[in-house]
Structure 1
Amino acid sequence: MSTTTSGDQRGFLRRLIPPTPMSKRLATNSLLFSTGEGTWMTGSAVFLTQVVGMSVPKVGLALTVVGIAEFLLAYPAGRLVDRLGPKRVWAVTTLGRAGCFVVLPFVEGFGQYVAVGLAFAVFGSAGFSAYQAYVLDVLPRKERVETQAYMYSALNVGFTLGALIGGIALAFDSLTVIRWTPGFAAGLVLVNAWWISLLPKAPHDLRVASGEARVRPSGPGPIRNVGWILVSFFGGTLWTNQVLLNVVIPLWLVDYTDAPWGLLAWLFGTNTVLCIFLPAYTSKGVRNVRDAMRYVWISTAFFVGSCLITAVTHSTEGLLTIALVWLGHVTVTGAELAISGASWAFEAELMDPRRRGEYQGVQEVSKQLGSIWAPALFTLLVVSWGGEGWLVIAGIILVATVAMGPSVALAERFRDQHFADQMDDGVPEPTPEEGYTPPVPVDPLEPA
């Protein structure tokens, strides 16, 4: 092996490791979170039907109730984050989720599971807003997109580990093992809560401690920021690449192509590997809103390409079908990676730093409205119209992308008019000469 090749490989491997102390700690948090969640999700269908004893329709109804609750709670949860501080809310809600996992083995029947599921929804809504607000608040402005890329990679590593652990639990073919699997998830979530307590307070946490955050910031909030609402809505539409990835392409493969069903495992495996190794590279070019819009168009090109490639597999045979379905899945993964970088940049550049929790809440509501219809509509289109249905899906994405441009411009004008002077640079990392000393652990229940 040549010296140049060896150096390139070392450079590639170094690029996979978060570059700063804070990015390493946040990536570790993502790994802990997703390993616990992935362990639970892998065996959740067996747990809910065989341990809790619910029928499949009741499982669907329970998950729908929980999903509606999360939707309704998103905005008030964001307001709570701004009021109490992102770190405190993040730590406390993580403890709450650990408690829910502890309770799960003792749940019996539909009603009890819905009660626990609603608790999950409360902690999940507030915890997600707090986590997002904390990351943006604590990081230097120039590191926000890059660090979130590393966190995204770590998240995928954790879900993969969780799937392996959950798969091992399922392999025992024992309901007793399945019943207590949430206990393992609870342990990881507790470690995650402890890890969060080690993180430094973000600037907004300090404002809460000083009493400054108790006074509602001047100027209009995100509900009056039509540009932000539209950016979030159309962003949700562009994120329906996940519907193609997880629902439409697998259903199309099974019912409308001659590809072997075993190919599905390779498709999801390819997506996971790419989402582990590529985010640090694909997000590197995103520095501002203009870069983010460029990545929106790149994402759309991949999305439309996936539709066009997959549409023709209804008429192909054998190895050609396999190759095209796989290529269609790879291109939709490209759409996922590109829109990820764009979304992180929009959050960093278009949200009022004094109201990040509230902005996250509005974003979640609007994003859901922009995507909640996609599984039913996209599936109906490809089932009813075949190749023409794929063209309609591509058209929907193109319309959303065209509409994103003026929406972003409107959000920029709102920012420049109402809170441009509040845009912050977060907490700078210490220089190598200064070194790095981890903060003393803090009890997440202790007043900030």
Structure 2
Amino acid sequence: MTNTISGDQRGFFKRLIPPTPLSRRLATQSMLFATGESTFMTGSAVFLTLVVGMSAGKVGIALTIMGVAEFLFAYPAGRVVDRFGPKRIWALSTLGRAGVFCALPFVTGFQEYVGVAIAFALFASLGASSHQAYVLDVLPRNQRVETQAYMYSWLNVGHTLGAMIGGLALATDSLTVIRWTPFFAAAMMLANAFWVSRLPAAPHDLRVASGERRVKPTGPGPIRNIGWILTTFFMGVLWTNQVLLQIVIPLWLVAATDAPHVLLAWLFGTNTVLCIFLPAYTSKGVRNLRDAMRYTWISSAFFIVSCVVTMITHSTVGLITVVLVWLGHLTVTGAELAISGASWSFEAELSDPERRGEYQGVQEVSSALGFQWAPALYTWLALSWAGGQGWLVIAGIVVVATLGLGPSVRMAERFRDRHFPPEPESEHEQVPEEDAGVGADVDLAADPT
């Protein structure tokens, strides 16, 4: 077996297994994380309303507060990641998530849950920035996109396993079982934290351990990189395919078509299966920024087809409606798969290797600005505006965002060429498997200075 992903010609099912030791370990981490998270999320609505005793309105307010907190924490979290090293913060943030899950069974009301939710937002922000900073830092440049495709596949495997475990807890119809389900999620997070702690140190972790972090990175930071901010904003808009997938198309099916509601299960099942088996294939064509831009247009084309096909189902009946709704969901899954590879390429090629955490923090903020307005607007456009003609406006929004990406990416390229230092040679070499042991670890209990 070769360590070169792009040259591997394995069979279809074998391609679900990442080809290098490090990529397999990263994929396993993705599965552990998603299994724990989805175990709780599957039954979270029942947990918050029947176990904690909050009304649906208070649940919405609490989740909104958590979203705002995560937005506010994003940029400072990225700075922390660069200060102390991505692997250390990644492992510690995962331990923090485990602690939050342990606290959930003891929450008895709205105020307590808001406190726990804010803590979760903090650890989620730290985890998001440190995870991506570590992956980009530790992987050779020519393996970053495809390895993240494998991680995405295994993440979906974990979400499927977690949904099954959470479903079994709900099937008991016991509030006691549901109350203590977060303990299983906490156990998975502890296992995940241990797994992360055994990963090899990335180049930035080694620089932190040697004391190089005391030297301020050269050049301006991401806040002055307007091209990066605009690129990640437009990418946030393109990722609103998830709003169609999870919110708008299901609501449309129920409110505006004669399709049976059980079709929703088949729609989500199709998406899950495709996102497990196809990312390693769909990402193979992304080798540089030009390929990434081409994939954004492919994603947008799928998005537009989904909008048009779904809009038509307002006036169809019977089996034709079922087929068209399924096709609309299938094409929006194509949009998701195409934009995944493009987004990984932009992150790898356009973020400063000395400031990966800070760049991830800025990306979290700007992409949220490009995404968070979509659930309310898209739902209104599709269901309440001009008899379904709002689907065309939704498609137009994505076209405008894709048109904006070209100039913003070129602007970010020019900024990179002027200000970024060359990546250290070690970042282009595969970390040997034997280096993944104790000697390469960052001691989580050590004094970071």
Category of TM-score, reference length = shorter chain: over 0.9
Contact 1:92 1:445 in 2 (8 A): no
| Aligned position for 2:3 | none
| Aligned position for 1:285 | 285
In the TM superposition, what is the alpha-carbon distance from 1:425 to its structure 2 partner?
A: 5.9
Cα distance between partner residues in 1 of 2:318 and 2:225: 52
Q: Secondary structure at the match of 2:408?
A: helix
* Residue deviations 1:141-193 (CA, integer Å, cap 9, x gap): 00000000000001100010000000000111111100100000000100000
Contact 1:34 1:159 in 2 (8 A): yes
1:391 aligns with 2:392: yes
In the TM superposition, what is the alpha-carbon distance from 1:445 to its structure 2 partner?
A: 2.6
Contact 1:141 1:425 in 2 (8 A): no
- The equivalences for 1:197-236 within 5 A come to 197-236=197-236
| Aligned position for 1:414 | 415
| Aligned position for 1:254 | 254
In the TM superposition, what is the alpha-carbon distance from 1:127 to its structure 2 partner?
A: 1.1
| Aligned position for 1:61 | 61
Cα distance between partner residues in 2 of 1:235 and 1:180: 38
| Aligned position for 2:104 | 104
In the TM superposition, what is the alpha-carbon distance from 1:443 to its structure 2 partner?
A: 4.5
In the TM superposition, what is the alpha-carbon distance from 1:387 to its structure 2 partner?
A: 3.4
**After alignment, is 421-430 or 355-364 more displaced?**
421-430
Q: Secondary structure at the match of 2:12?
A: helix
Contact 2:137 2:202 in 1 (8 A): yes
- The equivalences for 1:110-129 within 5 A come to 110-129=110-129
Contact 1:202 1:427 in 2 (8 A): no
Count of aligned residue pairs for this structure pair = 438
Q: Secondary structure at the match of 1:421?
A: coil
Cα distance between partner residues in 2 of 1:289 and 1:420: 19
- The equivalences for 1:29-68 within 5 A come to 29-68=29-68
Distance 1:414 1:34, change over 3 A: same
CA RMSD of aligned residues (A): 1.6
Q: Normalized against structure 2, the TM-score is what?
A: 0.95
Paired letter, 1:118:
I
In the TM superposition, what is the alpha-carbon distance from 1:212 to its structure 2 partner?
A: 1.1
**After alignment, is 269-278 or 417-426 more displaced?**
417-426
Distance 1:443 1:176, change over 3 A: farther
Cα distance between partner residues in 2 of 1:421 and 1:182: 44
Q: Secondary structure at the match of 1:53?
A: coil
Q: Secondary structure at the match of 1:292?
A: helix
In the TM superposition, what is the alpha-carbon distance from 1:14 to its structure 2 partner?
A: 1.6
Paired letter, 1:439:
G
In the TM superposition, what is the alpha-carbon distance from 1:444 to its structure 2 partner?
A: 2.4
In the TM superposition, what is the alpha-carbon distance from 1:422 to its structure 2 partner?
A: 3.8
| Aligned position for 1:445 | 445
Structure 1: where are the runs of 5+ without partners? 1-8
Paired letter, 1:412:
E
| Aligned position for 1:241 | 241
Distance 1:438 1:79, change over 3 A: closer
Cα distance between partner residues in 2 of 1:437 and 1:139: 14
* Residue deviations 1:30-51 (CA, integer Å, cap 9, x gap): 0000000000100111111111
Paired letter, 1:125:
S
| Aligned position for 1:194 | 194
Contact 1:299 1:339 in 2 (8 A): yes
Q: Secondary structure at the match of 1:237?
A: helix
Q: Normalized against structure 1, the TM-score is what?
A: 0.95
Q: Secondary structure at the match of 2:331?
A: helix
In the TM superposition, what is the alpha-carbon distance from 1:23 to its structure 2 partner?
A: 0.2
Distance 1:425 1:251, change over 3 A: farther
In the TM superposition, what is the alpha-carbon distance from 1:421 to its structure 2 partner?
A: 2.6
Paired letter, 2:93:
T
Distance 1:225 1:424, change over 3 A: farther
* Residue deviations 1:394-436 (CA, integer Å, cap 9, x gap): 11110110110000000000000101534766262267xxx74
In the TM superposition, what is the alpha-carbon distance from 1:437 to its structure 2 partner?
A: 6.0
In the TM superposition, what is the alpha-carbon distance from 1:218 to its structure 2 partner?
A: 1.6
| Aligned position for 1:88 | 88
Cα distance between partner residues in 2 of 1:119 and 1:421: 37
Cα distance between partner residues in 2 of 1:387 and 1:295: 28
Paired letter, 2:180:
W
Contact 2:200 2:435 in 1 (8 A): no
1:402 aligns with 2:416: no
| Aligned position for 1:320 | 320
Cα distance between partner residues in 1 of 2:316 and 2:309: 11
| Aligned position for 1:6 | none
Cα distance between partner residues in 1 of 2:435 and 2:203: 18
Paired letter, 1:399:
V
Q: Secondary structure at the match of 1:353?
A: coil
Q: Percent identity?
A: 71
Q: Secondary structure at the match of 1:255?
A: helix
Contact 2:200 2:431 in 1 (8 A): no
Contact 2:205 2:442 in 1 (8 A): no
Cα distance between partner residues in 1 of 2:338 and 2:427: 25
Q: Secondary structure at the match of 2:354?
A: helix
Distance 1:367 1:430, change over 3 A: closer
Contact 1:295 1:342 in 2 (8 A): yes
* Residue deviations 1:224-275 (CA, integer Å, cap 9, x gap): 0000000000000000000000111011110111100000000000000000
| Aligned position for 2:153 | 153
Cα distance between partner residues in 2 of 1:17 and 1:151: 10
In the TM superposition, what is the alpha-carbon distance from 1:276 to its structure 2 partner?
A: 0.3
In the TM superposition, what is the alpha-carbon distance from 1:210 to its structure 2 partner?
A: 1.3
* Residue deviations 1:102-133 (CA, integer Å, cap 9, x gap): 11111110011111111101111011100000
Cα distance between partner residues in 1 of 2:191 and 2:342: 31
In the TM superposition, what is the alpha-carbon distance from 1:386 to its structure 2 partner?
A: 3.1
Contact 2:138 2:431 in 1 (8 A): no
Paired letter, 2:406:
G
| Aligned position for 1:361 | 361
In the TM superposition, what is the alpha-carbon distance from 1:382 to its structure 2 partner?
A: 1.2
**After alignment, is 246-255 or 383-392 more displaced?**
383-392
Cα distance between partner residues in 2 of 1:425 and 1:140: 8
Distance 1:425 1:295, change over 3 A: farther
| Aligned position for 1:132 | 132
Structure 2: where are the runs of 5+ without partners? 1-8
